[in-house]
Structure 1
């Protein structure tokens, strides 16, 4: 499933915020308003090609939770990517986007009954879908629904890594079957299901500092694969997850993907199964920016606060993870102004509603600000908290741009509420 196309001549390992055209961003903001997510499909294609080039003999599954916009799913699938889905909704969206069932993994954690109902139905309608299970209970629940198809066993390898403790999954008991029981579970499940793979995931946002943890996880999965194969089970794949990090700050170096790939192959060792990886953030983060307009510039004793239309309901990562996203003032002539340190704050009535402190050209009301690396977990984590409608999203493909998600209205927020006579 991995692509055979080599990277294009100009395919740098990271796209910085300064590489986006201010003129083009202003044009899109004028056409669609703000806050606005902008996504470059060609950049996502480039990122996939680089991943496929680094892992030429592996299957690459895009972790859809990073960005489920239909054009994104379709563009990556057209390049050769499979899709890894963490919920029934993502599974439905991948299949609705035309991804073949044989290229889709459903990897839910403690799935609710209604999700399993949907997954079993869709697996029947789309042969080849693989359902990943992380608990013996889930096998029982699948059997109760008459499912006897393809399964993958998710393993807790006892090894975790990532950019924040809240996304370090590999050592969290919530995720997967304990390592020492995984082979036995796979063997017992083989009598009722088609056991096709084993899976583990260290965490999200793994950088060079975490490579030793990633290597340990892959090594343990290689040992487990050989144990399972020794029990007469022909595994199709060993999935070592994704979590490949991207640089959110301009002084961070991009991930040495070739080194990661080499370390992964060496750690896995000999197995008849195909290696599978699940990049999400790596494929889409630097393909997206968030545009927002300054509506208030306030001098305070502690500094300048720039109020913008995008807050924690638009981009949740800074509030949840203390995540840094670079910001650039792309208003005409902004680069000619003197810079100063300012706090960029959203419209939600919480002190945590901030996009952080940044050095920006002296801000003015009406300035257009671009927030970098917003292609992953940006729109996906947006909410209607404070009854705020979610923003619009556009995708750019070459010279063309089209609406991927329209801007919500207050009527959209209240549409799910039944009318009650008073």
Structure 2
């Protein structure tokens, strides 16, 4: 890996090798998630260079695959977890308690029970609470360890209103009450170590002023808190660093973001902590899917594929744009003619749609692509973040397999589900005893079910 390679700010879908991806579908079937571990490392190194003095945590919710967690841990990142299941994955990937932050948002009782038990074995684990009620519930369970308070700064930003968390009432204690809440927690014996907020997900360069104002408010709050409860270890300003999904969209000016963050935070006697997720993994992954139906509709050509909103939810959920390539067309005669139609195929407007019985199950509408044929393999770019993590079994559809590229080799990281996997909980419920059924909720985070692999 050269420094020049690491400095490339974004990997476009056109940078992936079409023949190699096509071969993966031949070997492993479709739909198929593919993730490049080296690209994850490159993204980490670039961010580490921009924020040399910051503690870097990876937001596990972006992609919780065990291979991703181990890659980023080896690179030097800690792990920020939004659930007990993610904490379990982090510990299963080899993280110690000191490398894990659990950020609770209205946590279920079983989550708190499991995390407090894990804290007993790893007392350096940090719990971030987003309400006074959560602090009470932790105290009831005997937790008096490292406590960080999530605050609501009243500023939100991001790629969609559904992920602009900084001003949403759901997240955090209002900033104006934070000092009192933390003073009370310290009086009750908690080890108050930090404050945390997250402005939103997918923040772009043109939202830098909102990011700057958000960080400035966190700096002011940190100084106020320190005057009341003593020094803090860290001020966590979250992540949300955006990536360019559209081909003509410029990458985030990371150096400018880093400089603006340091200037806005100001002088605080605490470390800066950031917790990106999408930035590490989005352009490290693609989704491969096979064309099964081509239909001439009244106003468009519908290209039906075997992936759908159960495989990649972002287009249906957020109206998100993802680039698409026809790999088969490009490999048809060994040439790539991006402007005039690969392999001589004419470009025609196409609506690429999945097999789910919902009108929202489309990846694009009337997009100019090489004319598709049944059996073609399409690649959907920037699928490494919130792709498999949001996959589901709606319409009783099994979730896809995942492949990891490492050391110039491809290996299966997650097998493809079957319908038998989808229906297994029902069969097990029918055969369970009344006692088993009554205690089923206690097994929701059972360590016998290894979530890392």
TM-score interval, normalised by the smaller of the two chains: over 0.9
**Shift, 1:161, TM fit:** 0.3
Whether the 8 Å CA contact 1:288–1:375 is kept in 2: the answer is yes
Question: Unpaired segments of 5 or more residues in structure 1?
Answer: 1-5
RMSD, aligned CA: 1.2
Deviation string, structure 1 residues 188-213 (Cα, Å, up to 9, x no partner)? 11122101110000000000121111
Query: Which residue matches 2:253?
Result: 256
**Shift, 1:396, TM fit:** 0.5
TM-score (norm 1): 0.97
Q: Is residue 301 from structure 1 mapped to residue 324 from structure 2 by the alignment?
A: no
Deviates more, 1:240-249 or 1:325-334: 325-334
Cα distance in 2, alignment partners of residues 91 and 237 from structure 1: 20
Whether the 8 Å CA contact 1:84–1:107 is kept in 2: the answer is yes
Instruction: Give the secondary-structure state (helix, strand or coil) at the position aligned to 2:282.
Output: helix
Query: Which residue matches 1:340?
Result: 348
Cα distance in 1, alignment partners of residues 95 and 381 from structure 2: 29
- Which is helix-richer, 1 or 2? 2
Q: Is residue 199 from structure 1 mapped to residue 196 from structure 2 by the alignment?
A: yes
**Shift, 1:123, TM fit:** 1.3
**Shift, 1:8, TM fit:** 2.6
**Shift, 1:420, TM fit:** 4.0
Whether the 8 Å CA contact 1:294–1:309 is kept in 2: the answer is yes
Query: Which residue matches 1:231?
Result: 228
Query: Which residue matches 1:269?
Result: 266
Instruction: Give the secondary-structure state (helix, strand or coil) at the position aligned to 1:142.
Output: helix
TM-score (norm 2): 0.90
Cα distance in 1, alignment partners of residues 3 and 64 from structure 2: 25
Structure 2 counterparts to residues 10-409 of structure 1, below 5 A: 10-11=5-6, 12-191=8-187, 192-331=189-328, 332-333=331-332, 335-336=342-343, 337-357=345-365, 358-409=367-418
Deviation string, structure 1 residues 201-243 (Cα, Å, up to 9, x no partner)? 0000000121111111100010111111112422110000000
Cα distance in 1, alignment partners of residues 252 and 15 from structure 2: 18
**Shift, 1:303, TM fit:** 1.3
Deviation string, structure 1 residues 148-183 (Cα, Å, up to 9, x no partner)? 100100000001001100001000111000100001
- Choose from 3, 10, 22 the match for 1:8: 3
Moved over 6 A (4+): none
Cα distance in 2, alignment partners of residues 205 and 169 from structure 1: 11
Query: Which residue matches 2:422?
Result: 413
Whether the 8 Å CA contact 1:206–1:245 is kept in 2: the answer is yes
| Alpha-carbon distance change, 7 to 284 in structure 1, aligned in 2, over 3 angstroms | farther
Deviation string, structure 1 residues 69-120 (Cα, Å, up to 9, x no partner)? 0000000010000110011110110111001211110002110111100111
**Shift, 1:40, TM fit:** 0.2
Report the count of equivalent residues.
416
Question: Unpaired segments of 5 or more residues in structure 2?
Answer: 333-340, 432-453
Whether the 8 Å CA contact 1:108–1:132 is kept in 2: the answer is yes
Deviates more, 1:240-249 or 1:184-193: 184-193
